[in-house]
Amino acid sequence: PEHVAIIMDGNGRWAQQRGKARHAGHRAGVETVRRVIETCGQQGVRVLTLFAFSSENWQRPKTEVKMLMELFFTALNREVRRMKKRNVRLRIIGDISAFSDKLQKLIIESEKTTADNDCLLLQVAANYGGRWDITQAARKLAEQVEQGELKVDQITEETLAQHLSCPDVPEPDLFIRTGGEKRISNFLLWQCAYTELYFCETLWPDFDQEDLLAAFRDYAGRQRRFGRVAEQVS
Ligand code: IPE
Ligand code: IPE
Ligand code: MG
């Protein structure tokens, strides 16, 4: 797959199973992120999009949200050097204006220092929601119509898609959700219209290279028809 999108789920349960607090699971999950980036780089994946914090996750207990924000900051701060070494370009997608100034600054800085890297594009979805993404795109189009720059009949799937969060990358080929739940939880709604879905029971901190390669093998056996019939695509 060229573009892999992952819902990293199951950190809380992983910690609870070990009698630890939920944030221990989130911390352990950072290790998995590092492993997955490495394997994706080796396997020739061009874009990796990770769901780190949804627009709905603000509804969690205050202490957990606070821990997640702190972890996001420290992990980002620490991992950027490794990304540079591994030729990984970082991009954050989502409404980052809700984050602290300090975190926003670090995000912008990290994106800037990795901007020339071209082995793998790592997109981290933070305060991201698929509905938010479509809504903000619709607003931009509406503004253009209001300014007289765009006609209503120029609103097409293509022009709308151009205003989504990552218009310059191909849509995900493979979607993976760890942790056993079988839902999309407001991840890349528009972009996943024709994405192959893969669900696995492994909790995110336990998700290892073999689990990822198993997902890739499963994907390799799929036939993507995009509405056509088998004879047309084989
Ligand atoms: C996913 O793990 C990480 C985030 C949502 C930030 P969870 O925290 O949702 O873990 P479970 O689903 O409760 O086990
Ligand atoms: C989805 O996981 C969001 C992230 C992994 C960041 P959740 O654990 O928040 O999803 P639900 O609430 O179980 O659907
Ligand atoms: Mg969860």
- What token pair was written down for 34? 């590092």
50-92: per-residue pLDDT in tens? 999 999 999 999 999 999 999 999 999 999 999 999 999 999 9
Per-residue confidence of the chain (234 residues) as pLDDT tens digits?
999 999 999 999 999 999 999 999 999 999 999 999 999 999 999 999 999 999 999 999 999 999 999 999 999 999 999 999 999 999 999 999 999 999 999 999 999 999 999 999 999 999 999 999 999 999 999 999 999 999 999 999 999 999 999 999 999 999 999 999 999 999 999 999 999 999 999 999 999 999 999 999 999 999 999 999 999 998
| Ligand 1 and 6: CB distance under 6 A | no
The Cα–Cα gap between 32 and 44 comes to 18
- With beta carbons less than 8 A apart as the criterion, state whether 2 and 47 touch: yes
Sorted by sequence, the CB contacts under 8 Å of residue 192 that are 6+ apart come out as 5, 171, 172, 175, 184
Ligand 1: residue of 6, 7, 11 to mutate (most ligand atoms within 8 A of CB) is 11
The pTM score is: 0.98
CA distance to 138, 164, 184, per residue, from 130 (Å): 12, 10, 10
| Residue 143 neighbours by CB distance under 10 Å | 12
Sorted by sequence, the CB contacts under 8 Å of residue 227 that are 6+ apart come out as none
Domains and CATH numbers, the chain: 3-129+171-227 (3.40.1180.10)
Radius of gyration for the chain, computed over Cα atoms and rounded to the nearest angstrom: 18
Ligand 1: residue of 13, 22, 33, 184 to mutate (most ligand atoms within 8 A of CB) is 13
Distance 7 CA to ligand 3 centre (A): 9
Task: State the ligand closest to the CA atom of 5.
Answer: 2
